[in-house]
C-alpha cells in the first residue's frame, strides 16, 4: 500500500474492481507537478485576452462558456490539487502551528518578492518608458509606490495600480481597469482554504472522515445552490455575499474528499473519459459551476495517477512562480506594445520571461523558504521548552486515547497495540 496518510482497506481491489486512489496514487511518482504547470500555462493564455487585447479583449474560453474562462478552469484545478495535497499535509502535521508556518512559507515569501519586483523594477521601467524619465516616480501621491507593498502584502489587495499608470493599455481601454497583478487576488482564498483545513484538523474532522466528508459535502451543496439560483445564501450569513468564497472552496473541498475517501474512489479509465466529456458539455451548455467542474477534476486526478510524468519538476516547481509573475510580465510587455508584434511573438516572449522568473523564484526564494519548514525561532523554542513540563502533564491527564483523534492519542494507541502484541 502507498505510504502516507492513506492507510485504509483496499476495498475496491478486493471486490474485483479497478484500483482505488489509495492504491494507485504514488506521492513520489505522479503527474500533479506537470498538471499544475500546465494550468499555470493556461492562465497565461486566458489572460492574454484582457491584457493584450487578443480573443476580442476577453479571457479565453468565455467565447464558449457563459460561466467560466479557461483561466478559471485552471484555477479550479489548482484549488482541487491544493485541497488534496494540503489535507494530506495537515493529517501528517504534528501541530496546527507547524502546519500554518509551512503554509505561510509556501505563499508569502515568493508573493512578497513579486510585489517588490513590480514596485522596484517593472513599474519604474514602465514609468520611464511613459514619461521619458524616472523623475517623479517615488514622489507620486496617488497610488504611491511607497504604499504598494504594504497595501498588498497580506493578500487582501488594497492597491492594484501604481502612480496612476496604464490608461493607454488594452486592459484599461477594454475594461476600464488598472492592475499590476490581476491573478494574485485568488491567493487570499487559497490561504483561507488553508485555514479551513487547519481548523478541521484541530477539531478532529480529518481524523474522522465522516465529519470531514459532511463538511465538504455541505460546501459543495452550498456552491451548487449559489450558482443554480436555488437560494439567496447571503441572507443566511453575510459571509456568502462573496460568491468567490464558495466558488473556490468547492474544488478545494472536492480535493479534500479525495484524501479522506481515497479507498472508495476508483481510478477507472472509462469513468475518466466520461467525466471529461460531461465536464466539457456543461462548460459549453451550462452547469459547469454547479456540477460539471467535478467531472473535469476527477479527470485531472486520473491523469495525475495514469500519466506518470514524474520528472517534470526535476529542475523545480515553477507553477506558483509562473502564476504570480505572469500578469506583471504581461502588463510590462503591454507598456512596450508587445501585443502589436502578434499572438505568437507575444506568447513566446511572455512564456520565456515568466519561466525565467519562476526558475529564479523557486531556487532563490521558494525552495530556501521551504527549507525552514521545521525551523523554530530560538526564543520561541526556549519558551516551549520552559512550558513543556506543564503541557505534558495536562496532556497526560486530559487525553484519553480511546476518545481522541490527536497525534498524541494516536501514538498512545500504537504503543498500546505494540505492547499487547508483544505480550
Q: Determine what percent of the chain is predicted with pLDDT higher than 70.
A: 93
First to last CA, the chain: 27
List the single range of 94-108, 156-170, 281-295, 378-392 with lowest mean pLDDT. 378-392
List the single range of 26-40, 233-247, 301-315 with lowest mean pLDDT. 233-247
Instruction: Tell me what pLDDT residue 234 has.
Output: 61
| C-alpha cell of residue 15 | 471486490
pLDDT at 212 over 90: yes
Instruction: Tell me what pLDDT residue 233 has.
Output: 66
Cα gap 89→62, rounded to integer Å = 35
Instruction: Tell me what pLDDT residue 382 has.
Output: 82
Instruction: Tell me what pLDDT residue 397 has.
Output: 77
pLDDT at 79 over 60: yes
Cα gap 83→272, rounded to integer Å = 20
Query: What is the arithmetic mean of pLDDT over 259-269?
Result: 95
Query: What is the arithmetic mean of pLDDT over 12-38?
Result: 85
pLDDT at 11 over 70: no
pTM of the model: 0.89
pLDDT tier at 9, thresholds 50, 70, 90: very low
pLDDT at 10 over 60: no
pLDDT in tens, 122-131: 999 999 999 9
Query: What is the arithmetic mean of pLDDT over 91-95?
Result: 72
- 49: nearest Cα among 162, 182, 209: 182
Query: What is the arithmetic mean of pLDDT over 370-389?
Result: 83
The total of other beta-carbon atoms located within 10 Å of residue 378's CB is: 8
pLDDT at 230 over 70: no
Instruction: Tell me what pLDDT residue 248 has.
Output: 96
Angle ∠(378,382,388) on CA atoms, nearest 5 = 140
Query: What is the arithmetic mean of pLDDT over 6-29?
Result: 70
Query: What is the arithmetic mean of pLDDT over 208-226?
Result: 93
pLDDT at 43 over 50: yes
pLDDT tier at 231, thresholds 50, 70, 90: low
Instruction: Tell me what pLDDT residue 81 has.
Output: 97
Amino acid at each position: 500500500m502507498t505510504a502516507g496518510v492513506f492507510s485504509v482497506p483496499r476495498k475496491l481491489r478486493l471486490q474485483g474492481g479497478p484500483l482505488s486512489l489509495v492504491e494507485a496514487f504514488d506521492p513520489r511518482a505522479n503527474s500533479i507537478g506537470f498538471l499544475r504547470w500546465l494550468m499555470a500555462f493556461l492562465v497565461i493564455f486566458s489572460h492574454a485576452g484582457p491584457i493584450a487585447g487578443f480573443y476580442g479583449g476577453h479571457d479565453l474560453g468565455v467565447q464558449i462558456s457563459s460561466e467560466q474562462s479557461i483561466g478559471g478552469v485552471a484555477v479550479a484545478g489548482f484549488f482541487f490539487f491544493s485541497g488534496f495535497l494540503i489535507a494530506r499535509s495537515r493529517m501528517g502535521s504534528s501541530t496546527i502551528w507547524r502546519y500554518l508556518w509551512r503554509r505561510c512559507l509556501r505563499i508569502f515569501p515568493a508573493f512578497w518578492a513579486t510585489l517588490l519586483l513590480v514596485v522596484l523594477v517593472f513599474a519604474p521601467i514602465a514609468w520611464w518608458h511613459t514619461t521619458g524619465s524616472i523623475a517623479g516616480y517615488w514622489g507620486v501621491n496617488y497610488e504611491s509606490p511607497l504604499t504598494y507593498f504594504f497595501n498588498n502584502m497580506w493578500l487582501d489587495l488594497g492597491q492594484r495600480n501604481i502612480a496612476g499608470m496604464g490608461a493607454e493599455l488594452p486592459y484599461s481601454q477594454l475594461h476600464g481597469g488598472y492592475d499590476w497583478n490581476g491573478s494574485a487576488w485568488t491567493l487570499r482564498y487559497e490561504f483561507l482554504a488553508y485555514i479551513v483545513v487547519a481548523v478541521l484538523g484541530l477539531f478532529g474532522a480529518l481524523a474522522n472522515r465522516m465529519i470531514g466528508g459532511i463538511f465538504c459535502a455541505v460546501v459543495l451543496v452550498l456552491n451548487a445552490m449559489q450558482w443554480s439560483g436555488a437560494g439567496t445564501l447571503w441572507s443566511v450569513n453575510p459571509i456568502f455575499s462573496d460568491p468567490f468564497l464558495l466558488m473556490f472552496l468547492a474544488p478545494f473541498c472536492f480535493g479534500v474528499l479525495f484524501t479522506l475517501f481515497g479507498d472508495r474512489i476508483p481510478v477507472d479509465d472509462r469513468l475518466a473519459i466520461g467525466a471529461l466529456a460531461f465536464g466539457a458539455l456543461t462548460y459549453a451548455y451550462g452547469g459547469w459551476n454547479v456540477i460539471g467542474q467535478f467531472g473535469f477534476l476527477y479527470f485531472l486526478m486520473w491523469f495525475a495517477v495514469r500519466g506518470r510524468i514524474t520528472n517534470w519538476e526535476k529542475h523545480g516547481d515553477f507553477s506558483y512562480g509562473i502564476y504570480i509573475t505572469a500578469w506583471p510580465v504581461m502588463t510590462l510587455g503591454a507598456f512596450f506594445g508587445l501585443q502589436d508584434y502578434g499572438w505568437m511573438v507575444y506568447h513566446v516572449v511572455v512564456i520565456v520571461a515568466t519561466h525565467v522568473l519562476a526558475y529564479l523564484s523557486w531556487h532563490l526564494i521558494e525552495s530556501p523558504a521551504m527549507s525552514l519548514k521545521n525551523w523554530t525561532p530560538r526564543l520561541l523554542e526556549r519558551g516551549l521548552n520552559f512550558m513543556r513540563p506543564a503541557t505534558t502533564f495536562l496532556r497526560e491527564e486530559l487525553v484519553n486515547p480511546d476518545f481522541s483523534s490527536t497525534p498524541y492519542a494516536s501514538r498512545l494507541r500504537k504503543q498500546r497495540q505494540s505492547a499487547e502484541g508483544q505480550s
